[in-house]
Every structure is written in C-alpha cells, then in structure tokens.
Structure 1
Amino acid sequence: MNYVTNTQSTSTNKNKTFSNLTTKALRLFILLVLIPLFNLSLSSCSQSDSIAPESENHSAARENASILNVDGFESDKVGSFWSKELFTPTAGKLVNDLHRVGNQAMRFSWKPSQANGTNKMLHSELATSAIAPGDVAERWYGYSSYMPSASMAKDDQTVIVSQWHGVPDPGFEDSVPPLCIELNSDRLKLWYCASNVAITKALQNSTSNKRLDLGAAIYDRWVDYVVHVKWDPTGKTGLLEIWQDGKRIVNEQGISIGYPQQRKPYWKCGLYCWMAKATYEEKSIYYDEVRIGGPSANYDAVKPGRNDNSAKVQF
C-alpha cells in the first residue's frame, strides 16, 4: 500500500511540475512575442494620428502663404488691390446672372459708341499692381472667364481679353504689352515679346516677339485659366505656361519676355478694344475666381473652382 501511495504521490508531483513549466513557457511566449507586437501596433497608430494631419496642415499653410490676392467678386465692391479702368456706368459691374462659383461675378462691357479718339475710352478693365523692384519677377494667375457668343462671336475686330502691361522707368517710355491674349474671328491668340534695350520712345519695337494660336474660342460657358510667367527681358531664363481647363496649352521655356524696367508687368483683365470698332453695339465678358500667387505658388494654389471642388485637374 505504501508503495502504491508513494508512486501516486510521485506521479502527482511530476504532473504539477510539468504543469508549472507549461504555464511559465506560455507566459514567456506572451512576453517575448505578443506584447512587443501589441506595443508596435499602438506605436504605429500613434504616429499615424499625429504626423499625417500635421503634414497636411503644413502643406495647406504653405499654399495659403503663397497667395498674394484673391477676388471671387462676392462683395458689393471689387477687391482693394484692383485699380479701375472703368470709364462708363456700364463698363464694369458685379452681377449675379452668371457666376463660376458663389453668387456673383464681374461683368465687363465696352461699346463702340464710347470711343472718342482717346486711348482711355478703349478700356474696360481692372488692373493689379506692378511687381516691385527687387521682388522676384515671377507670378501665378488663376481666373475663369465667360464669353457670350451673342456679343463676342464672329467679330473680326481684335479685342484683348487679358494682358500684362509694362511700367516705364522715370524719364523713359513704354511699349506694347509684353504679354496679351486676343480674340479675333473666333480664334484666341497669344502674343509675347521682349526688349534687350531700354524703351526710350512710345510704342518702340521689341527686339524679339512670338505669336501663338491658342485655338478656337470657347463661348457660352466658363473656361478656367492658369497662367505662370517668369519675366526675363534680356536673358534666356524666362518662362510662360498656360493651362486651359486643366490642359497645358502653352509651354515656353528658356525665353526672353518683358522689358528692362525696374517694375515688372502688371495684369489687367476685361476688354481692351484698341481697334475702336466692333460688330456689336456692346461687347461683354465675365470674370470670376481670381487668384494671384507669388513665386512659391503652383497650379493647385491658384486654380479656379477650389471652393466648391470643381477645380480642373492639371494635365
């Protein structure tokens, strides 16, 4: 009996020892394998939650810092950065019958009847400020325009619908706009030029120029534009890029563009009917979603339609 009892006791002790060893081994496995994995998972979640939003915010802040002027024409007045070249009661109005985004847009109007022999009365435009001396001569412009066929189509009288104008230095003169977009006979055309010598007399010929056909005019709908220009009148580092509805239609790299003036060109939008004639009793064009960016801006920073997610993707 004692033998049997002792054998059972010994077997029981061995079972307990084995059980204890198994429990310890399981605990060790959890410590060595499962807990590090769990900690790694927590660490990854923490990094994702803290880093991603911070990165996004930084990008948005940097993009906003690159913007110099914005006007969606939603107020009862145009932005304070504009200079007005509106010389009749109907030359420029904030309207709500057409708009790209929001509730209003800017309507420009010009009538042949207002031509009086002076250059002043050929303009119905808003103008920005020139680039100051010493500032980087590079800008991004985003805007959307609408040309009604009822007042713009099938007219062989050239009208400038967007232009960048020079600023003469003291004691000097100015020449034709170094960059402009024209409409004539249902075609959009671009002209850019440069001079490597000072402009000493009015309308002095440029020393280089180029004309590009931008294609058939688009009527009766909003068309989005982004223009990127770097002015370089005497070298070969200038550039000009233009996107229409997201598609790049102009890509001029390593060019001479502009004049050797201290202040670099300012942008004007609206109508300049320099031929003083038109097929219609009144010409009109609408503008909306204006954004102007400095040298650190890009396509996405100035593209129209940002506020309602209708902006065109760049391609």
Structure 2
Amino acid sequence: MNRNFPSLGMTLSTLGLVSVFLATNAIGTSNDTAPSTSAYISVYSTDLGSGLGSLLIQAEQPADIMLVNDPAVAGRRAIRVQVHKSDDFSKVANGSPRSEFTLPRDFHMAPGEEYLIRWRTYLPRDFAFDRQQMEIITQIHQSGSRGSPPFMLTLLGMDYTLSVRGGGNTEHGSGVRLCYARDDLDRWVNWTLQYTPDASGREAVTRLWKDGKLVFNGNGLANAYPGDQFAYLKFGVYKPGWLRQPSDVNAVELYFGDLSVFAKTVRR
C-alpha cells in the first residue's frame, strides 16, 4: 500500500553537540522497546517473494542489485547488493561508487508526520570491513541533490556508525559509533527507526533499535533540511570517497530483506 506524504529536511547542529548528547542520552541508556505498529498506518511494504516491485535502482550494472535466494533462510528471497571499486561509475548519480535502491518517488517523508521504518540487513561470513572509510548502507536523503543526508546508518571498520543532521548544519562529519558489527556476520539483523523530521529539533524524533534494543536516541536533535517536503529512503551501498581516498577493500557485498514503512500524523 502506498500513500503520498510531503517531504522532510535534515542535519545536525554540530558534531560536538551530537557527541555530548549521545554520551548522556543515547547508546545503551534506555530499555525502551520500539512502538507497536498499531498506532500507525502502513504506507509502504515490499514482498520480495513476488519480486522487486516498484523499487528504483541506482547501480553501475543490473547484476549489482539482484533478487536472490536468502543466504540464511531456505525458501525466502533477499536483495543482494554489490559494488566493485573497478567499476565505471561515470553514468551513476554524481559519478560516485554506489549500488542503491529507493522506494518509489511517490513516497515522501515530511514534517508533521511520524514514521516507523523496519528493514533487515545481512553481512556475509566473508564480509570485508573497511577501516579507512565508511560505506553508507541506509539513509534518509533530502530532496535536493546537494549536502549530506539527514540520517545515515553506516559501516566504518568493524562498527556500525550513525549520523543525524538538520537545520543550519549539513556539513559532512564522522558518524557516532553505535555498536560492533563483526558479531553480525552470517546472520540477519532487524532494524527499526522511529523518525519525525523537524529542522528546528523541537519536535524531532530519531530513535533506532537493533534487534529490539535501543541503540540511538536523538530526540531533540534537528534531523531535517528546512522546508524539505520530499525526502526519501535509500538502501544499499554508497562509498563516496572510495575512488579518492585509501581503502582496505576492492568490493562490498551485503543483503537486504523485506522492508516496511508505517506513518501517523502528529502535527497539521
């Protein structure tokens, strides 16, 4: 089921503010459970057993994003995402190394709405961790083409890291460490993001759960670009500095499972 929502805008005030906020308010400081979907309406969901549906693909070649057999669960399907440093990315957005898929563009994220986003990731047993630069694996992207995404879930070294940005500060910076990713090889991880975009931060909600445990609470941090009504979700692999900076890896491969988005109006 699809429903149109206006868009959002996002960024952080300063990396210093975020670091202080996280030290006192985020990782491992709450046993809150993720909200029930009963208070929301379903606005988008995939059914990978029936195919990729209307997902939009950004990749150097079709084989980089494919529907395949689930690597861990017999009889289930998953999306395999791969990217190789040697590929020609000249025809991909910004000419940067990426293999990504987005929800249909008639789905937008906007101020005044609260979203509950659920998705799954799988790192193969032989996944190659890059200690020298990150890869973005999930993001909420602003509708404009310039600037860093308001929300990014990334891998850096053997850690999951996360960045939130909004309001007047959209400069790129290092992510905040969430938890160790090395333990997740060869198994599915379930993510839940509760997200209410607000460029001022006053009504902003950004809470992330990993396998039912709250790993980030960024409530009160600006998490949207001002006036943005058409932000959207992206999944896959994006390594913006791969062709210019040192790296430990020449290829990245991971998997995504079915994803779903729920929403409710919190402000008119």
Q: TM-score, normalised by structure 1?
A: 0.63
Match of 2:5 in 1: none
Correspondence list, 1:1-315, <5 A: 63=38, 66-75=41-50, 77-80=51-54, 82-98=55-71, 103-116=76-89, 119-128=94-103, 129=105, 132=108, 136-168=112-144, 174-196=146-168, 205-206=169-170, 211-217=175-181, 218-277=184-243, 278-295=247-264
CA contact under 8 A between 2:147 and 2:171: conserved in structure 1? no
Structure 1: which amino acid aligns with 2:170? S
Note if contact 1:147-1:219 (Cα within 8 Å) is conserved in structure 2. Answer: yes
Query: Highest relative contact order (Cα 8 Å, sep 6+), 1 or 2?
Result: 2
Q: Check whether the contact 2:97–2:242 (CA below 8 A) recurs between aligned residues.
A: yes
Q: How many residues align structurally?
A: 223
Contact 1:195 1:207 in 2 (8 A): no
Measured after TM superposition, the shift of residue 83 of structure 1 is: 1.7
Larger Rg: 1
Runs of 4+ that moved beyond 3 A: 62-65, 99-102, 115-118, 129-137, 207-211, 277-281
- Work out whether residues 199 and 224 of structure 2, in 8 Å CA contact, stay in contact via their aligned partners in 1: yes
Distance, in Å, in 2 between the alignment partners of 1:115 and 1:162 is 23
Change (3 A) 1:116 1:207: closer
SS at match of 2:101: strand
Alpha carbons of structure 1 residues 97 and 235: separation in structure 2 relative to 1, 3 Å: closer
* Alpha carbons 1:160, 1:182 under 8 Å: kept: yes
2:120 alignment partner AA: S
Q: Compare 283-292 and 63-72 and name the one that shifted more.
A: 63-72
AA in 2 matched with 1:186: M
TM-aligned CA distance change 1:153 to 1:234, over 3 Å: same
Taking a change above 3 Å as real, the CA distance of residues 182 and 103 of structure 1, as seen in their structure-2 partners, is same
CA 1:240 to 1:70, structure 2 compared with 1: closer, same or farther past 3 Å?
A: same
List alignment gaps of at least 5 residues for structure 1: 1-59, 197-204, 298-315
Change (3 A) 1:114 1:253: same
Cα distance in 2 for partners of 1:174, 1:207 equals: 10
Percent of counterpart pairs with the same letter?
22
The one-letter code matched in structure 1 to 2:256 is Y
Residue type at the aligned position of 2:52 = V
Using a 3 Å threshold, how does the CA distance of structure 1 residues 125 and 251 change in structure 2: closer, same or farther? same
Point out where structure 2 has 5 or more consecutive residues left out of the alignment: 1-35
Deviation digits for residues 116-167 of structure 1 (CA, Å, limit 9, x no counterpart) = 4663452211112376587733211101100124233354331111111001
Q: Give the letter aligned to residue 175 of structure 1.
A: G
Change (3 A) 1:176 1:236: same
* Partner Cα separation in structure 1 for residue 220 and residue 131 of structure 2: 35
Q: CA deviation at 1:221?
A: 0.9
Q: Is the 8 A contact 1:94 1:105 kept in 2?
A: yes
In structure 1, what is the Cα distance between the partners aligned to 2:212 and 2:172? 29
